[in-house]
Amino acid sequence: LKRPAFCPITHLSSEAATSLPTDTLNRGVDVGVAVVLETKDQHVLLTRRARHMRTFPRVWVPPGGHIEEGETLLEAGRRELQEETGLHLPECQGDVLGLWESVFPPMLNLGLPKRHHIVVYVHLLAQQSQKVLQDRLELQASEVDGAAWLDRSLVEAIAASDQEQEGLTRSCSSIPETFRATVLNPDGQVQTEDISTTMLMIPSLQARQDQERVSTGTKFALAQWIK
């Protein structure tokens, strides 16, 4: 289990904790699952949370969500993967990469905590290539509005951009200026877009709350995948 150094729960004073709304206190800590899907040619899928989402809008994360009663972690992960991306991969075997304490807003200077999760990152290894799975991709507009397959060199660069990850180095010479993403336009139509890779490297402490970026928890999970 890991949390960022700026985790609001770590820095929440007793006085601030007692001032939290009753509905926030009664929610407790939810458990979610996120799927780090790896293709047989070593590409990893990330999705962009839709602009209208209440928590972490426009942030790039692995597909994932809540665990329903009676589900195992893998069952929940496969279901969320299919719901958000249209990818039905029941044959995929998986293992746990790590656990992450996630709080929204992610820092106290952005407001008191509203949501508190433990996210279980699960690695699934697909038997298909990135190209085959890309052709099956169907984004769920209510949850995500973008998706991209990232190769290992780009994943390594993203993980190395996390200031809390030790022992990771980044080779900038092998990183392209842009990456290709499948996105939904405001009308819900599918199109491709070249997005600057600089966005993927933005440290959480330097990002605005509404800024497109990769979440700190995702960088942690990608670092675990590299290992």
Flag whether 136 is in a domain. Answer: yes
The mean of the pLDDT values for the chain is 91
Percentage of residues in the chain with pLDDT exceeding 90? 71
Flag whether 1 is in a domain. Answer: no
pLDDT, tens digit, 9 for 90 and up, residues 92-148: 889 999 999 999 988 898 899 998 999 999 999 999 999 999 999 999 999 999 999
The reported pLDDT for the residue numbered 165 is 54
Flag whether 85 is in a domain. Answer: yes
Split into its structural domains, the chain has a count of: 1
Residue of 206 and 221 predicted with greater confidence: 221
**Which residues form the domain of 127?**
8-226
Q: Compute the distance between CA of residue 144 and CA of residue 59 in angstroms, rounded to an integer.
A: 10
Flag whether 2 is in a domain. Answer: no
Flag whether 141 is in a domain. Answer: yes
Flag whether 96 is in a domain. Answer: yes
The CATH number for 205's domain is: 3.90.79.10
Q: What is the pTM of this model?
A: 0.90
* pLDDT band for position 167 (cuts 50, 70, 90): very low
Flag whether 118 is in a domain. Answer: yes
pLDDT, tens digit, 9 for 90 and up, residues 40-85: 999 999 999 999 998 899 999 999 999 999 999 999 999 999 999 9
Contact 160, 170 (CB under 8 A): yes
Flag whether 3 is in a domain. Answer: no
CA 109 to each of CA 6, 8, 9, 12, 23: distance values in angstroms, whole numbers, following the listed order: 10, 9, 12, 11, 21
